[in-house]
Structure 1
Amino acid sequence: MGAPGTVSTAPPLDISLLHGWFSPAFEALAVFALVVALGRRSDDGRHWFWIPMAVSVGGAVCAGAWFWLDTQGWMPETAPVTFWFFAGALAAGLLLAVVGWRSARWWRRTLTVVALPLVAIGVALAADQWSGYYTSVDRAWDGLTAGPLPHQTSPAKLVAFQGTNTPTGVIVPIAVPANRSHFRHRTEYVYLPPAWFHTPRPTALPAVIMIGGVVTTPEDWVRSGNAAATADRYASAHGGVAPIMVLIDPTGSLTNDTECVDGPRGNVDTHVVDEVRPYVISHFGASPFARHWGVVGWSMGGTCAVDLAVRHPDMFGAFADISGDLVPNAGDHAGSVRALFGGNSAALDRFDPTTVMVRHGNYDGRLNGWFQSEGRWADSPRGGSTPQIRAAHSLSTTAARVGIRTVFRGTPGGHSWAYGANAFVDVLPWLMSALR
């Protein structure tokens, strides 16, 4: 049960996409259908030419995808083998379907029309297993069909149950004007903890900006990162008290890597600091003081979190950088400077967290930072086992030197939403303590 007037999503298809039987069974079905549909179609020997050609095309597509993902900083070496298999199989299957279409029997044509979409879904399933973006069938359905978030309501209905003891928090969509940033963002959301509805309302409830990865929507910290469920569990053990969480849109679309900077792809730093933060203070009664505001991010969002906090210590008192990069990163260095800052290297320095911290000097313990990433850290020439753990160690070391109270953690896991969700479970109690 949720708060009155909210949409409570009780999933009828709570089938895991990351573990269990569903994904392997579906992938096996896709392979079987493709093999039957595109099996040997003639005895004239042409298949001995086209099969190697199709394999070559599939390999070329995989190589091109690897190169593109690498230039975007997406670490293709961490992708599962099934991702490359299905990507190559889809390209090869398309070629064989085209060249063999006229000579194929009707039932093979029909099966081909079914098999190729199944293989395409196999690519998507493998990509999802890589990223952990959708954990189950119902969450994928809600995300792809733009279904409501759990316990979502409209702002107009909040008054109706003010003063009630809601067992869960409530999520409301917000429309933040972008008069200063001119950033074209999608609908953003605010999670209001149960204590927000108490009478009297607790003073100085902490507020936390939540930021996802490069390919993201504002809903991702709820659908993929379980942030609302984690906050609800915390609230149930603390008299309904949990942070006001602000689920922002850092990209404006699924293909616009902004790294939360101000640049050609959007003035996201300005949007967060000068538009979102004042809006939440004025509309939801959040504290205006920096010591009650935090930023949490995973992947690109982790880079955003540390950047926003060290650039604006007068507005944020704590941050959690989960699996972020060392600097705002949209590929290699030259590509990042060009894409994010229009080729202006000096502009990059204004958003390089290390440079910002060194130039700022002593933060006098007024800022708290949590740095966590997948991987192991060792005091050796190589350092950490992943780029993210090396970035976390470097940033946390610099932060400690300039008077930021830091936590540094390296834990097992992959670069996925599942890791970010688990990390937030550990971050939340620390964050609530830091934002008192």
Structure 2
Amino acid sequence: MNSLLSGVNPLDLDLVGLPLLTILYAATGLALLLVLLGPTGVRRAIVTVIGAVVGAAVGWALAWFISDVWDPWGVSLSTGTRLWTAALGASLAVVVLNLRGQVRWRRVVAVCAIGLCLLSAAAGINADVGQFPTLRVALGLASYPPLDEALAAAQAPDAQTRAAHPDSANATGLAAEGTGVVGTVSIPATESGFAARDALVYLPPAAQLPYPPALPVVEMLSGQPGSPSDVFTAGHLASILDTYSRAHSGLAPILVVPDQLGAPGNNPMCVDSALGNSASYLTIDVPAWIKSHLHVAAQPAGWTIAGFSQGGTCSIQLGAAHPQVFSTILDISGELVPSNGSEAHTVQSGFGGSVSRYATAAPTAILATHAPYAGLGAIFVVGDDDIRFLPGIRAVADAAQRAGVDTHLFESPGTAHDWHTVDYAWTTALPIIAARTALLAPAMIAMTQ
């Protein structure tokens, strides 16, 4: 355990990596074994087995009720999360049924086992979903500096390199060996008036050169509830883009992650309504800020809009409705229709009670209205265990193909409505986005050498 923590701030300990999970699961298993090795007998053994089965059934039923009846998040729990909940029910039943008759030290172990079972289940579910990679993220302590400060900190070593090698024309160059920079920016809602939180920007190594190429840009949207930082803390996008850039002369898209919600619990559904002019913010204000502050491709061919879950719905809504702004769409586990609670509440809150306005905001309707498209591409990705969103993604992908959109559909193996699907989506989609946006054009590569 000491080697696991050596040189690592406990807040930054990997909560989803095998070393920590192996230790936690082993400790839990040992505690349960010690409880079971107490007083024995046929009757106790039978009661324990029956209790474990009943506990597992209760756990599975609880997961079913939360996911499919109460439905507080609008997504179905994955098979892995349901199994962890069932395992928790079974293990707690085993401990409780074996508390009586134990000597004092075994009772202490049993109480500790309850805590370990809870921790193991929580860790297993978190690893299944991928929401909190570290304790820092789980406690809401992860933060990013302003973009100009992050750039200054990243360029300080380069300044020392230039001073030591004044004859090197591109000492900041070394783009292929560098890493990207992530920082916060404030994107004003000049036209929309939308009350957005700060955005996050990822600049790949090539964007940090003294004379950077005009790079493609991706406008990426988080899910709901959520915040722009989720795509970096839970989605590991900076790491994914850094890996890609190291293999391609420091080239990767510039990533801008604006806030399409206004607050974690809000859902303006990426339309202009009484809930806020989210659509205008994302298609007018954000692109205007990007063009005036970042060295990016000027034409729509270099622009992509992407998103996960609610953000995925936004990406296909806005991308399909504004092909003059975006030429590529990445829809990760988006919805079939925009949703803010029940359909009745959605229509009332987001569309002023107009059923027809609500119907025309559906991605399939937008695609049909603007068909046939010329030059628009869409990449759809969904987990093959995402039983609720899988049919919708397939339906929207079919509608896109019928509308003349260059369509790609991928199903992430063994994942559900979680951040593992986002990781798979970005890793799979990056080569397609690069090809569509001419990221690896010879002239652009030459500028990084």
CA drift at 1:346 = 2.5
Which residue number corresponds to residue 344 of structure 1?
354
Give distance in 1, aligned partners of 2:433 and 2:347.
Answer: 32
1:419 equivalent in alignment to 2:421 = yes
Which residue number corresponds to residue 374 of structure 1?
383
Which residue number corresponds to residue 201 of structure 2?
190
Give distance in 2, aligned partners of 1:272 and 1:337.
Answer: 21
Residues 148 and 157 (structure 1 numbering): CA distance in 2 closer, same or farther, change over 3 Å?
Answer: closer
Alignment deviations for residues 392-411 of structure 1 (CA, whole Å, 9 cap, x no partner): 32222221222211112224
CA drift at 1:78 = 4.1
Give distance in 1, aligned partners of 2:308 and 2:340.
Answer: 15
**Percent pairwise identity:** 29
Which residue number corresponds to residue 135 of structure 2?
140
CA drift at 1:186 = 2.5
> What SS does the corresponding residue of 2:71 show, helix, strand or coil?
helix
Which residue number corresponds to residue 6 of structure 1?
none
List runs of 5+ in structure 1 lacking aligned partners: 1-9, 37-50, 97-106, 377-384
Give distance in 2, aligned partners of 1:401 and 1:297.
Answer: 22
Alignment deviations for residues 329-374 of structure 1 (CA, whole Å, 9 cap, x no partner): 3445334434543543233234211001111121123x11111222
Structural RMSD (CA): 4.4
Corresponding residue to 1:283 among 281, 288, 293? 293
Give distance in 2, aligned partners of 1:172 and 1:231.
Answer: 15
Which segment drifts farther, 283-292 or 170-179? Answer: 283-292
Q: How does 1:34-433 map to 2 (within 5 A)?
A: 65-66=66-67, 69-70=70-71, 72-76=73-77, 78=79, 80-81=81-82, 84=85, 124-134=122-132, 136=133, 139-142=134-137, 144-149=139-144, 154-155=147-148, 158=151, 161=155, 164-165=172-173, 167-203=178-214, 205-365=215-375, 367-375=376-384, 386-415=387-416, 416-433=418-435
CA drift at 1:121 = 5.4
Residues 242 and 63 (structure 1 numbering): CA distance in 2 closer, same or farther, change over 3 Å?
Answer: closer
- Contact kept, 8 Å, 2:59 with 2:87, in 1: the verdict is no
- Contact kept, 8 Å, 1:72 with 1:331, in 2: the verdict is no
The TM-score with structure 1 as length reference comes to: 0.74
> What SS does the corresponding residue of 1:168 show, helix, strand or coil?
coil
- Contact kept, 8 Å, 1:210 with 1:246, in 2: the verdict is yes
Which segment drifts farther, 221-230 or 181-190? Answer: 181-190
Give distance in 2, aligned partners of 1:206 and 1:132.
Answer: 28
Residues 356 and 121 (structure 1 numbering): CA distance in 2 closer, same or farther, change over 3 Å?
Answer: same
Give distance in 2, aligned partners of 1:301 and 1:11.
Answer: 33
Give distance in 1, aligned partners of 2:23 and 2:319.
Answer: 45
Give distance in 2, aligned partners of 1:129 and 1:316.
Answer: 34
Give distance in 1, aligned partners of 2:115 and 2:259.
Answer: 31
CA drift at 1:218 = 0.9
- Contact kept, 8 Å, 2:216 with 2:303, in 1: the verdict is yes
CA drift at 1:292 = 1.3
Q: Please tell me the residue identity of whatever aligns with 1:371.
A: F
List runs of 5+ in structure 2 lacking aligned partners: 1-6, 35-50, 97-104, 160-169, 439-449
> What SS does the corresponding residue of 1:252 show, helix, strand or coil?
coil
Which segment drifts farther, 58-67 or 310-319? Answer: 58-67
Give distance in 2, aligned partners of 1:429 and 1:113.
Answer: 52
CA drift at 1:323 = 1.9
- Contact kept, 8 Å, 1:143 with 1:223, in 2: the verdict is no
- Contact kept, 8 Å, 1:194 with 1:241, in 2: the verdict is yes
The TM-score with structure 2 as length reference comes to: 0.72
CA drift at 1:189 = 0.8
Residues 229 and 66 (structure 1 numbering): CA distance in 2 closer, same or farther, change over 3 Å?
Answer: closer
Return the index of the structure with the highest Cα Rg. 2
- Contact kept, 8 Å, 2:199 with 2:258, in 1: the verdict is yes
Q: Please tell me the residue identity of whatever aligns with 1:229.
A: S
Give distance in 2, aligned partners of 1:70 and 1:307.
Answer: 24
Alignment deviations for residues 58-109 of structure 1 (CA, whole Å, 9 cap, x no partner): 99976763456536421136462365459979x99xxx9xxxxxxxxxx9xx
Which segment drifts farther, 122-131 or 267-276? Answer: 122-131
Number of paired residues? 400
Which residue number corresponds to residue 442 of structure 2?
none
Give distance in 1, aligned partners of 2:89 and 2:412.
Answer: 33
Q: Please tell me the residue identity of whatever aligns with 1:186.
A: R
Q: Please tell me the residue identity of whatever aligns with 2:325.
A: M
CA drift at 1:132 = 1.4
Which segment drifts farther, 304-313 or 74-83? Answer: 74-83
Which segment drifts farther, 243-252 or 20-29? Answer: 20-29
